Amino acid sequence: MGNLEDYRKEIDSIDKELISLFEKRMNVAIKVGEYKKERNLPIFNGKREEEVIEKNINLLQNKDYSDVTRSFFEKIMELSRSLQANLINEDNNILKENLKEETKIGYQGVEGSFSEEALIKYFNNAINTKNYEEFNDVFKALENNEIEYAILPIENSYTGAITEVYDLLVKYNFYIIGEECIKIDQHLMGLQGSNINNIEEIYSHPQGFAQSKSFLSKYENVKLIPYHNTAISAKLVSELKDLKKAAIGSKRAAEIYGLNILREAINDKKDNHTKFIIIGKELKYDDESNKVSVVFSLEDKVGTLYKLLRNFAENNINMIKIESRPNKHESWKYLLYVDFEGNLKDNLVKNALELIEKNSGYFKIIGNYKRR
């Protein structure tokens, strides 16, 4: 029996081989992507991927490794698809092809907000935008045809789901058409001449406070004032002209509203990202759409959750996220939001969703779009 150092050396040797093989596999994945691009073929092929996974599991001498082998190849294939997606459709989405100059897009906040930053990243050439104070205001604007699309935050990698947006999606019966993800760096900012040790009040959206708990805990005497949006907070501090007030927001917001950054990157988690969704009134998807979002009711009965979710496993569908929210119309009843890999044209996806719809009191497809 060897010692720990011997085992580590053996692992290092194996890792070198794995890196070489991984690089070769990704190189081949790019070639496959180029082939699909030339022939306009979809990236995702659930049946093919399942065949590959089963084939490799059957090669195992020790079948105890079956589950971890499945997870390993699922991750490898996810990375391969990501490379192919970047190659085939790096900057395109189903909206950009038909986006007109007069197409109006709404977001929550003001100029300099993270929502506006996500909008710019996703749409590139969108110049006709309109901002609103609250999330509900954005949904109302879409309902009243003031805007054609909207972009809203749905989840932060550190603080989790933005539940109000989930609830509004069901309330207004809209669809997710796309998603965008941006890195979030929260900065403490104040007027020129202000000093961090003299700050008495800090304004921010609650998410800004939640993402910066560790830093803020050092300033127990400072009053934290929740506000509509980080960029609106920066705008307010700029207008109040008070050296004792500060805001939390983006570097771009500080530049727009003439504020000085008192402390950079105060967010606890440095790998801090927020996912945004693009919503519209109609369900839109194409062959490149590889992520599906659905919502369905969950009865308060033993085994209900298992019976519904097993339809994904039995159809070889990889679930990405599950979010439970109270049903606003019935006490102690819940709505389950599920994101999973797939395309609504795929037969396995159709089969799973038909079974779930059949066994749910409420069911809705929220969207089928390209995963970022």
| Same domain, residue pair 296 and 368 | yes
Kindly give, in sequence order, each residue whose CB lies less than 8 Å from that of residue 60, ignoring residues fewer than 6 positions away.
66, 69
Choosing from 123, 274, 312, 340, the catalytic residue is: 274
Predicted local confidence at residue 95, as pLDDT: 63
| Same domain, residue pair 146 and 197 | no
Reply yes or no on whether 274 is catalytic.
yes
Kindly give, in sequence order, each residue whose CB lies less than 8 Å from that of residue 83, ignoring residues fewer than 6 positions away.
26, 29, 30, 33
For 192, the token pair is: 């020129």
Closest C-alpha to 178, from 43, 282, 325: 282
| Same domain, residue pair 173 and 275 | yes
Predicted local confidence at residue 82, as pLDDT: 73
| pLDDT tens sequence for the chain (372 residues) | 668 888 888 888 898 898 989 888 988 988 888 887 777 676 767 778 888 888 999 999 998 888 888 888 888 887 887 777 666 554 445 665 556 777 899 999 999 999 999 998 888 766 789 999 999 999 999 999 999 999 999 999 988 999 999 999 999 999 999 999 999 999 999 999 999 999 999 999 999 999 999 999 999 999 999 998 899 999 999 999 999 999 999 999 999 999 999 999 999 988 889 999 999 999 999 888 999 999 999 777 777 888 888 999 999 999 999 999 988 777 667 899 999 999 999 999 999 999 999 988 899 999 999 987
| Same domain, residue pair 274 and 135 | yes
| Same domain, residue pair 245 and 295 | no
Burial string for 262-275 (b: 16+ CB within 10 Å, else e) reads: beeebbbeeebebb
- For 294, phi then psi, to 5°, come to -135, 160
Identity of the amino acid at 245:
K
Full domain range(s) for residue 255: 187-266
| Same domain, residue pair 36 and 160 | no
| Same domain, residue pair 124 and 165 | yes
Q: Would you give the end-to-end CA distance of the chain in angstroms?
A: 47
Q: Residue 6 pairs with which residues in a beta bridge?
A: none
- What phi-psi label fits residue 125: left (phi over 0), alpha (psi between -120 and 50 degrees) or beta? alpha
Choosing from 276, 296, 312, 340, the catalytic residue is: 276
| Same domain, residue pair 276 and 136 | yes
Among 89, 119, 139, residue at a domain's last position: 89
DSSP percent split of the chain into helix, strand, coil, nearest 5? 45, 25, 35
Supply the pTM of this predicted model.
0.71
Reply yes or no on whether 129 is catalytic.
no
Among 67, 89, 111, residue at a domain's last position: 89
| Same domain, residue pair 159 and 276 | yes
The CA-atom distances, in angstroms, between 56 and each of 50, 53, 69, 70, 144 are: 10, 5, 8, 9, 53
Q: What is the CA radius of gyration of the chain?
A: 24
Among 38, 63, 89, residue at a domain's last position: 89
